C-alpha cells in the first residue's frame, strides 16, 4: 500500500527555510462581536389612539429597529410606558399637536440610562452601550407650510 505524499514537499538534501508552525489554541479571551444598534426616526402623525400604537409596533418587528425616535406623537403628558415588546417614552404639552418620544425594544431596557423631555419638541434618550454613553436627541419642527409663529 502506498502512502500519500507529505503535505509540504521539500526537495531532498535542502533545508526547509519555512517549516510549518504548530498553532496552539490561544488561552486569551476572544473579543465578543460588536453588536449593532439600529436607530431610526419617524413622524408618526399621532399615536393618540391605541390602534396606531399597535400598528407601529407590528411594523417595527418587520424592519428590526432597536430604537425609534418619534415626532408628532400627539399624546398629552410625560410618561414612560412598558409594553409587551417595547418601552414607550414620550412628552406632549399641546392637546392634539406636537409631542416627541422614543420607542425602545424591551431587550435594550437595561441599557437605558435616562429619558429627558425638555419640551414637547425636544427629548433626549441616554443609553449605556458598549461601555459608552450614547445620547440620542429627538426633535420635532413644523413643516415650512406652518405659520411663522408656530415654526419659531
At 147, which CATH number?
3.60.10.10
Predicted structure pTM score: 0.74
Do 101 and 91 touch, CB atoms closer than 8 A?
A: yes
* Residue 119 DSSP symbol: S
Q: Whole-angstrom Cα distance, residue 13 to residue 63?
A: 64
- How far is Cα 55 from Cα 45, in angstroms, rounded to an integer? 13
User: 55: domain range?
Assistant: 39-151
Residue 67 falls within a domain, yes or no? yes
In a domain, 28, yes or no: no
pLDDT higher than threshold 70 for residue 98: yes
HSE-CB at 112 with a 13 A cutoff on CA atoms is: 21
Residue 80's pLDDT is what? Answer: 95
Q: Is residue 24 part of a domain?
A: no
Longest dimension (CA), the chain: 95
Q: How confident is the model at residue 144 (pLDDT cuts 50, 70, 90)?
A: confident
Amino acid at each position: 500500500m502506498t502512502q500519500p505524499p507529505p503535505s509540504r514537499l521539500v526537495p531532498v538534501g535542502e533545508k526547509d527555510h519555512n517549516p510549518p508552525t504548530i498553532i496552539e489554541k490561544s488561552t486569551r479571551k476572544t473579543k465578543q462581536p460588536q453588536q449593532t444598534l439600529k436607530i431610526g426616526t419617524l413622524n408618526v402623525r399621532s399615536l393618540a389612539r391605541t390602534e396606531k400604537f399597535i400598528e407601529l409596533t407590528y411594523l417595527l418587528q418587520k424592519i428590526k429597529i432597536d430604537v425609534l425616535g418619534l415626532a408628532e406623537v400627539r399624546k398629552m403628558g410625560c410618561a414612560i410606558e412598558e409594553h409587551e415588546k417595547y418601552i414607550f417614552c414620550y412628552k406632549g404639552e399641546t392637546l392634539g399637536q406636537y409631542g416627541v418620544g422614543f420607542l425602545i425594544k424591551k431587550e435594550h431596557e437595561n441599557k437605558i440610562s435616562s429619558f429627558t423631555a425638555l419640551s414637547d419638541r425636544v427629548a433626549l434618550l441616554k443609553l449605556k452601550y458598549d461601555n459608552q454613553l450614547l445620547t440620542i436627541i429627538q426633535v420635532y419642527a413644523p413643516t415650512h407650510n406652518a405659520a411663522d409663529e408656530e415654526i419659531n
